[in-house]
Amino acid sequence: MKKIILNTILYTSAIILLLSSCSKEIEGRTDNVAALNPINPDENAGTWKTILLTAPNEIIVPAPAATNTPDYVAQINEIKSCQYNLSREDKEIVKYWSAGAVFRWNEILRELVAKHNLPPYQNADGTYPIPSATNPLAYPLFPFANPPYAARAYAYVSAAQYDALVAAWYYKKQYNRPSPYQVDTTLNVLIPKSPLSSYPSEDATIAGVCAEMLKLLFPGDQDFIQQKIEEHKRARIVSGANVRSDIDAGEALGKAVALKFVARARGDRAGAAVGTPTIWAQLETDAITRGETPWISLESPKRPPMLPLYGNVKPFLFDSLTKVSLLPPPPPSTNSPQMQTELAEVLDNVKHPTREKTAIVHYWADGVGTSTPPGHWNAIAAEDFISKSFSEVRWARNLALLNMSLMDAGIVCWYTKYYYFNPRPTQLNPEIKTLTGVPNFPAYISGHSTFSAAAATVLSHIIPEKAAAYDAMAKEASMSRLYGGIHYRSDCEVGLVVGKNVANYAVQRAQIDGAE
Amino acid sequence: MNSYKLKHGITLFVMLFLLNNITKAQTDLDAIMMEKNRFCVGPSYMNNSWKNYWEGTLKRDNANLGTVSTQSYAIMGNYGVTDNLNVLFSVPYVSTKASAGTLKGNKGLQDLSVFVKYLAMEKDLGKGTFSLYAIGGASVPLTNYDADYLPLSIGLKSKTASLRALVDYQVNSFFATASATYVLRSNIKIDRNSYYTDHMIYSNEVEMPNASNINVRAGYRSERLIAEAVFNQWNTLGGFDITRNNMPFPSNEMNATTIGAKVKYVLFTKHEFAVEGGADFTISGRNMGQANNYHGGLLYVFELKSKHSNEKSKEATK
């Protein structure tokens, strides 16, 4: 008997030791994505309609050197010498970046947003510090990448990548310099071969765009971003996809195009979106004058409302008069029986939440420390685009349509929120305990609903066979805010309508941009 | 002689509750065995609360949480398979609450814990008795609760397996016990399908670092009364820090050092009915609350088989 027990203990310890040495590392869904091999190279994308560029050749890309020059031969030899001693790290970066340049930079951007989506901690006197772009590494770190900030960041990066790639495609066709593996057929190629000219490199164009855009958007993360840029460019040379002059020309093009977008961003009024104490007080007074209960922060100490002037930011898809026309009718008055009914419904939802509904709340919460709802929709889009094997330029075009919609949806949503300045359910009935954090801005209309309907509308246009699924996701995301106790039904339902209205402008653009 | 008496003693049941409701039935941390065929069972109550917590290594409070409190109602049992081999279990029902802010607390059945405790060696040494125990444990969540709702989730949802070595030395009525534990923790699934730790992960699975525990206790131990001081050190072996003003996450590095005291008194020796109670205080930590923990319980011991058959089986093993 004793022997059996002793043996059992010995075996148990052996198993535990064995298990403890086991790897528990998680494989992410996109860690091992296959190399992008576009079904359609979109040869004529150089004619697609640009966003800020007045013409695809607005930025001049010089003619490349001929492939029989000693300089070009030296560049081919650079590839060969890199491949001669291929390290494990090199193989890893080739594998990582070959999944797609637009895709990987979209992931990197989502990661930066998640890292920075943290509300600043209060000062000792109960006020809150405001992050400063000129001193990004001092607390509070710049930026606070909340949903409006994130939506704008995704839009600028995607739109700039799109314009830059249209230009790159224009020059590919114009100069038509062959790829290194077409020039030297003995070259070992580690990625799927493209029928298109390799000059200028589309990958380097994207990296160049990101280099400039992210200096503006994430100025405190330059070491991380520069490391990614270097890896990306090296991956293209090591893999035999590009010679160095392809890379240099692409990077220069990307940077030049991005600077146009940086200039637009500096003047789009986002810098003033925080508002001032006078403006914050005025919003409250105005709501009282209208006979409504004004929104009050539920945080302790009370935090100023999030980006009250974000509704004045310059949209991508329409002008500011159109924005005003997209304003929905007012929410039920805070004194109305309708509001009492909706409030009762919220309370009912949080009183006895089912596990299934709680899971929905948390799946879509995308709160503090996440890539935000726009980031979540970028992830949904990206994972679907992977299966479509789009060309890089089509990837960029589709993400630009998605993210311009999300940014503009955010603008109209924020404009609405501060136009009506409507309180959250818990403010009107403190008995309502929420299943997720209460966002620090007015309720009407729901940001999640507006963002989700906008995304679902654009994605349904791009991948029509999934329209019903996108619609169901948007509705679930919308209702998750009611289940969680942080929105009334009106906020959610009207948010879905407004989001769709905004995204229709992107669909109209998609129909005439030359890509369909 | 003394240790023989102790085997008649009733096992202690105490919950050690840390920020995230890492439960430990304390019987698996002491040097007391149930005799063969005897079964000890009883309810316990635990109240754990904290106002300050460590965000990484920075100690702070949070006006949007106020005081976070956790209450646990558990049934625990200990059965003597043989005089040297006990099987223990506990099943807690847990509810959480924040005194400020808007977040709703959670409640529900948490994890079933089972321990197998083996008295590997017992010998007279100097003036006292030295004993050595090996204790294997396992726990599984009993319900599909949400672990990714810290600090108000009812638990971390990891399945665990643990192995502990425990030594005890007793001279007359004074004793000291020390143990070291290695805890394997399985990965968990959360409701989200991506999350950020110190990098982005596109999965609903979370890698949970393993953990270790050191427990030292000493005091007075007789047939009717046990009074002891307790030191405990819980460390996760890996994990990451909560960043500034962020929310906690299940795979944070969670460490806590607690000190406390515990008393158990046998009211009626005839039926072996006892009461116990105690308190623990967190003196240092990382990514956890600075918790005060109070607990109390009732214990009742009875024979599971008749004395007759018990005697018989004892004869048979001789």
Residues 6+ apart with CB under 8 A from A433: A350, A426, A485, B102, B103, B104, B105
Dist CA B240 CA A393 (whole Å): 38
Interface touch A9/B161, C-beta < 8 Å? no
Final residue belonging to a domain, choices A203, A232, A266? A266
- CATH number of the domain enclosing A330: 1.10.606.20
Contact present, B208 and B187 (Cβ < 8 Å): yes
B105 touches chain A (CB under 8 A): yes
CB B189, CB B205: distance < 8 Å: yes
Predicted local distance difference test score (pLDDT) of residue A19: 60
Q: A195-229, pLDDT tens digit by residue?
A: 999 999 999 999 999 999 999 999 999 999 999 99
Q: If you measure CA to CA, which chain B residue comes closest to A364? A: B192
Work out the mean pLDDT of chain A and round it to a whole number.
96
Query: How is A282-351 classified by DSSP, letter by letter?
Result: HHHHHHHHTTSPPP---SSSPPPPS-TTGGGSPPSSS-HHHHHHTPPPPPPPTTSHHHHHHHHHHHHHHH
Across the interface, do A12 and B136 touch by the CB < 8 Å criterion?
yes
How many Cβ atoms from other residues are within 10 Å of residue A510's Cβ?
A: 18
Element (H, E) at A222: helix A222-238
Residues A251 and A288 in one domain: no
State whether the Cα torsion A206-A207-A209-A210 is positive or negative: positive
pLDDT number for residue A367: 97
Confirm if A192 and A206 have CB atoms less than 8 A apart: no
* A371:B134 CB<8 A: no
Q: What is the structure's pLDDT at A281?
A: 97
| A200 domain residue, yes or no | yes
- Are A351 and A498 within one domain? yes
Overall average pLDDT of the A19-38 stretch: 88
CB spacing of B196 vs A111 below 8 angstroms: yes
A26 lies in some domain: no
Whether residue B200 and residue A110 make contact (CB cut-off 8 A), yes or no, is yes
Q: Could you tell me if residue A450 is inside a domain?
A: yes
Q: Which residues in chain B are closer than 8 Å to A369, comparing Cβ atoms?
A: 195-196, 243, 246-247
Chain A residues whose beta carbon lies within 8 Å of the beta carbon of residue B63:
300-301
Q: Judge whether A36 lies within some domain.
A: no
Does A27 sit within 8 Å of B245, measured CB to CB?
A: no
Distance of CA A326 to the CA centre of its chain: 23
The pLDDT of residue A23 is: 75
What was the pLDDT predicted at A229?
A: 98
Do A91 and A210 belong together in one domain? Answer: yes
Q: Which chain A residues have a beta carbon less than 8 Å from that of B317?
A: 1
User: How many other C-beta atoms can be found within 10 angstroms of the C-beta atom of residue A419?
Assistant: 17
Of B63, B136, B202, the CB nearest to A28: B202
pLDDT band at A18 (very low <50, low <70, confident <90, very high): low
> Which chain B residues have a beta carbon less than 8 Å from that of A363?
191-193
Provide the domain count of chain A.
2
pLDDT at A53: 98
Q: Are residues A362 and A433 in the same domain?
A: yes
Predicted local distance difference test score (pLDDT) of residue A178: 97
CATH code for the structural domain at B2-317: 2.40.160.40
Answer yes or no: is A220 within a domain.
Answer: yes
Please state the separation of Cα B101 from the chain's center in Å.
Answer: 30
B182 reaches A (C-beta below 8 A): yes
Residue B109, amino acid: L
Give me the residues of chain B with pLDDT under 70, please.
1-26, 271, 306-318
pLDDT band of residue A10 (cuts 50, 70, 90) is low
CB contact under 8 A, A29 and B203: yes
Nearest to residue A251, comparing CAs of A216, A282, A189, A207?
Answer: A207
Task: Decide if A385 is inside a domain.
Answer: yes
- List the single residue in A with minimal CA-CA distance to B248: A369
Is A57 part of a structural domain of the chain?
A: yes
Q: Which domain holds residue A256?
A: 45-266
Count CB atoms within 10 A of the CB of residue B271: 11
Among B121, B166, B202, B313, most A C-beta atoms within 10 A, so best to mutate, is B202
**Is A288 found in the same domain as A144?**
no
Condensed to tens digits (0 to 9), the pLDDT of residues A430-450 reads: 999 999 999 999 999 999 999
Q: Are residues A428 and A323 in the same domain?
A: yes
Residue A17 has pLDDT above 90, yes or no: no
Q: Are residues A471 and A373 part of one domain?
A: yes
Asked if A302 and A191 sit in the same domain, the reply is no
Last residue of a domain, one of A216, A234, A266: A266
Task: Single out the residue in A241, A266, A291 at which a domain terminates.
Answer: A266
Looking at the structure, tell me whether residues A259 and A330 fall in a common domain.
no
Residue A174 and residue A307 in one domain: no
Q: Would you kindly state where each structural domain of chain B is located, as residue ranges? A: 2-317
Same-domain check for residues A221 and A288: no
Structure tokens at B275: 């009461």
At A22, the pLDDT band (50, 70, 90 cuts) reads low
A300 and A182 inside one domain: no
pLDDT at B32: 86
* pLDDT at residue number A483: 98
pTM of this structure: 0.94
H helices of chain B, where? 2-6, 307-317
- The answer as to whether A234 is a domain residue is yes
| Residue B309: predicted pLDDT | 46
Q: Write the ipTM.
A: 0.94
State residue B1's pLDDT score.
30
Give residues with Cβ within 8 angstroms of A223, minimum separation 6. Answer: none
- Give the tens place of pLDDT for each residue, A159-200: 999 999 999 999 999 999 999 999 999 999 999 999 999 999
